Amino acid sequence: MTNTNLTRAAVAAMVDHTLLKPEATRADAEATVAEGLRLGAYSICLSPSMLPIDTGAAKTCVVAGFPSGKHHSLVKAAEARLAVDTGADEVDMVIDVGAAVDGRYDEVFADVLTVREAVGRDVVLKVIVESAVLLDAAGEDCLTQVCRRAAEAGADFVKTSTGFHPAGGASVRAIEVMRAAVGPNVRIKASGGIRTAEFAAELIAAGADRLGLSGTRTVLAGFPE
């Protein structure tokens, strides 16, 4: 695999172990929690309808405005606040990607700020920007501007992807652009299409601080004990 000093435990501590399939059942969510705890994942990322749920020693992460981002900002804010009130520690919200492609960056800022204010400062807020779409449709400057506006609005993380868009998921290029945009004070979550240890290691080397994985066990198996 890619040359790295990362251990399996160290990478697991960067993972949001994720189940967001629309057909997922309560039993599936409970199994995902159990697997994430066995693997040492940092958090368990679920749909908000799965709350309340006991994630044990792991953080509880939910999504808002998922997966399209086309929800009204107030709806995203209400969804996020309800999730926090029912046990969420972290919220991954989706921006209006079309607004970003159009260059309506003030709307992106307002969208993020609305959710930030709804959940408060103690909740970790990750902002999903669909980096593959922005890079393909509008280029690196668009991705840069969106990440900067998200950071200005109070995002703790900018996140590559929902994993549901046909344009694709995380990429090394996206992580590099995002890191250059937000500097060291805002973290980056890579998600979407991360299926091997080699790719995970490349994303971490490029600047990713957190990984969103559904196939966590397979990815971690490629790192040394």
| Residues marked as catalytic | 92, 159, 189
CB 50 within 8 A of CB 26: yes
Half-sphere exposure of 28 (CA within 13 A, CB side): 14
List, in sequence order, every residue forming a beta bridge with 43; answer none if it has no partner: 16, 59
- For residue 76, give the nearest of 90, 66, 87 by alpha carbon: 66
Q: Which two tokens stand for residue 150?
A: 């998200």
Q: Which two tokens stand for residue 161?
A: 């992807």
Judged by DSSP in three states, 211 sits in: strand
The DSSP letter of residue 183 is T
Distance CA 127, CA 55 (A): 22
